[in-house]
A and B are shown apart, each in its own frame.
Chain A
Amino acid sequence: MAASAPAAAGAPRKPRSRSVTRRNASEARAGLLLATPFLLLFAVFTVWPVLQSMFMSFTDTRITDIRTPFAVNFVAFDNYAQALSDPVFRRAALNTAIFVVVGVPLTMAAGLAAAVALDKGITRFRSVFRMGFYTPVVTSIVAVAVVWRFLLEPDRGLVNNVLAWVGLDGPNWLGDTRTSLLSLIVMAVWRNFGTSMIIFLAGLQAVPWSLHEAAMLDGASPWRRFLNVTLPILRPTLLFVMVTTTIGYLQFFEEPFVMTQGGPLNSTLSASMYTYQQFGFGNYGLAGAMAYLTFLVIVVVTIIQFRITRES
């Protein structure tokens, strides 16, 4: 160890270096001691499951193997091939892609608009608005689902009754394949834009007011200042929000699970939802492969996003 090197150097310095050695040893001991409880729990409940599910994804593990998880047959990439050729899984992947491509920009735009309005636009009641917009983030999806299903009911629901006041005939939001996924996207935006708003608010602190003043002296409109002063400085924050929101939305699960169970006609079935269904059917190997495919997509998409934003 590095600590033993000074101890060997020359007699006169010996007493001091011995105390350094002893201190380094006790520091290392303390470090390991402090790390141990975390590492034990982490190894058992995270690292081990990550490795085992990779192993599972290459085997024909089923629910019947639950007591003997290693007495299973190795099937190489069969589960991955089966998942990729399954039309339902492809449909689920497409739904997830639509959810991400439409939902992420909407969530970011709503969060950014709210953040800019609260940061510079208003002076009073700022914390009331901030808290109100953040409230959906902290509430249980199960409770949210109960309320939203009620709000979206075709006849009794508040949404269609409000539309009726202005003479519009609202659809059966969750029961119609044309509006079901859209409804879940709107609900997800409602539930998540508060998070991006908070992060954008923090990012906006980094935009110096003097730059705005300089731009105003040059006669720049608020919109121009937003494009040419605020946005460039906000870039790292934008990237961060984009990456984290995308990672979250790629695992789109809770909304369809509690609102539609993936229906009608698989129109809201997501990749994670289908993976969970395979787990429910007892196809553990196949479900493991599907979960790893999602992980792979997350890694690839994250790398691409970092590349694109760095280049442009």
Chain B
Amino acid sequence: MQRTRARAWLYVVLTILLLIVMTPFLWMVLGSLKSQAELLQVPPTWLPENPSLDNFTRLFDRLSFGRYFFNSTFVAVCVTAGNLLFCSMLGYALAHLSFPGKKIIFGAVMGTLMIPGLVVFIPQFVLVVNLGLADTLAALILPFLVGPFGVFLMRQFFLGLPRDLLEAGRIDGASELGIFFRIFLPLAGPAMATLGILTFLASWNNFLWPLVVAATERTYTLPVALALVSTGQNQTDYGLLLAGACVVVLPILLVFLFFQRFFIEGIASTGIK
């Protein structure tokens, strides 16, 4: 009896907390459907009086958010593909093959996990400028094509697969690369899903680097465009801003909802965001 009551209270508290946590998102979606006049009302309204998609139309017609949406997606897909392929290749080699320099490579890659982003930021910028890549999508992709986190995750996963698979492949006469691509890689689905989602998410939300490197509308990504709109001449156009926030947030929320099982499991197993 006492336990059921305690549990009921816990549900109440958790629901209130959930509402508080979700309020900014609710506010964002509801606000994006309101007119400027309604958004300026004091006290604010909750539900839009005359819901309209006008803010979204302006976003895509006047501000070419379609282009930025494409850029964000293209960059995120390339970065994700690169991480999946290259990190799993090195992760497998570190887990199951012996080759010269292996220990040094592992140490060096893991060592960079602790280095703050700002340490590499300026030289990366100098490098991209000197390679003639400033203001290109390539400059938004190349520095993020591989990363230590992916190697760590894939190595841990491949260590968990039995080495007998390798021996069996060799006895069957498969080549070393064939063993990786045809035996080990197809088994790595769950780890690849985790790495893929986390990488896609990080790339989609990446903000500072593209803000500095993307100089013209051709290369803007969604967060860059939204940041510039929110500090530019439209900064008091709240409806436009909230609609922009929706366009940045909602696609990734859908991806998250769809893949949340991998998300949660993957993060829990590696312990790193």
Contacts and interface: CB of A to CB of B under 8 A. Distances in A.
A44 B121 contact: no
Contacts of B102: 31
B245 A146 contact: yes
A190 B127 contact: no
Contacts of A237: 271
Interface string B38-58: 011111100000000000000
A151 interface: yes
Interface in A240-278: 240, 244, 247, 250-251, 253-254, 257-258, 272, 275-276
B176 A30 contact: yes
Interface stretch (A32-40, A75-83, A98-106, A173-181): A32-40
Contacts of B123: 48-50, 52-53, 56
A38 B86 contact: yes
A132 B26 CA distance: 12
Interface stretch (A21-29, A207-215, A225-233): A21-29
B118 A275 contact: yes
Interface string B6-18: 0100110110011
A150 B242 contact: yes
Contacts of B175: 26, 30
A302 B97 CA distance: 32
> Interface residue tally of chain A, by bracket?
35 or more
B92 A161 contact: no
A291 B121 contact: yes
B99 A35 contact: yes
Contacts of B201: 138
> Interface residue tally of chain B, by bracket?
35 or more
B22 A132 contact: yes
Contact of A135 (B39, B143, B253): B253
A67 interface: yes
Contacts of B14: 117-118, 122, 129
B114 interface: yes
Nearest to A261: B231
Given A45-B142, A147-B245, A28 B230 contact: no
A140 B205 contact: yes
A37 B89 contact: yes
A198 interface: yes
B253 A276 contact: no
B98 interface: yes
B77 interface: no
A156 interface: yes
Nearest to B207: A142
Nearest to B201: A138
A11 B53 CA distance: 84
A305 B180 CA distance: 40
A31 B93 contact: yes
B241 interface: yes
A288 B116 CA distance: 11
Given A34-B93, A156-B42, A244-B272, A39 B105 contact: yes
A12 interface: no
Interface string B221-265: 011001100100000001001101110110011001100100110
Contact of A202 (B94, B100, B130, B271): B271
A158 interface: yes
Contacts of A58: none
A198 B268 CA distance: 6
A41 B268 CA distance: 28
A201 interface: yes
Given A50-B115, A53-B122, A298-B114, A30 B230 contact: no
Given A133-B18, A150-B27, A52 B126 contact: yes
B126 A69 contact: yes
Interface string A36-74: 011101101111111011001000000000110100000
Q: Count chain A CB atoms within 10 A of each CB in B112, B115, B248 and give the residue with the most.
A: B115
Contacts of B7: 121-122
Contacts of A121: 7, 10
A41 B86 contact: yes
Contact of B27 (A158, A287, A299): A158
A28 B126 contact: no
Given A295-B115, A302-B114, A135 B21 contact: yes
B267 A34 contact: no
Contacts of B115: 50, 295
A139 interface: yes
Contacts of B17: 114, 133
26 contacts: A28-B97, A30-B99, A31-B98, A34-B177, A35-B93, A35-B105, A45-B145, A48-B123, A53-B122, A56-B123, A114-B17, A138-B252, A139-B25, A140-B222, A140-B245, A143-B28, A143-B226, A146-B28, A147-B28, A147-B31, A155-B42, A156-B44, A164-B43, A244-B271, A254-B207, A287-B122
A-B CB proximity, top 8 nearest: A31-B99, A30-B176, A202-B268, A49-B123, A143-B245, A31-B97, A49-B120, A52-B123
Given A27-B176, A32-B100, 19 more contacts: A29-B99, A35-B105, A37-B146, A45-B146, A46-B112, A46-B120, A56-B123, A122-B10, A134-B260, A137-B273, A138-B205, A141-B207, A150-B241, A151-B27, A195-B273, A202-B268, A251-B118, A284-B122, A287-B118
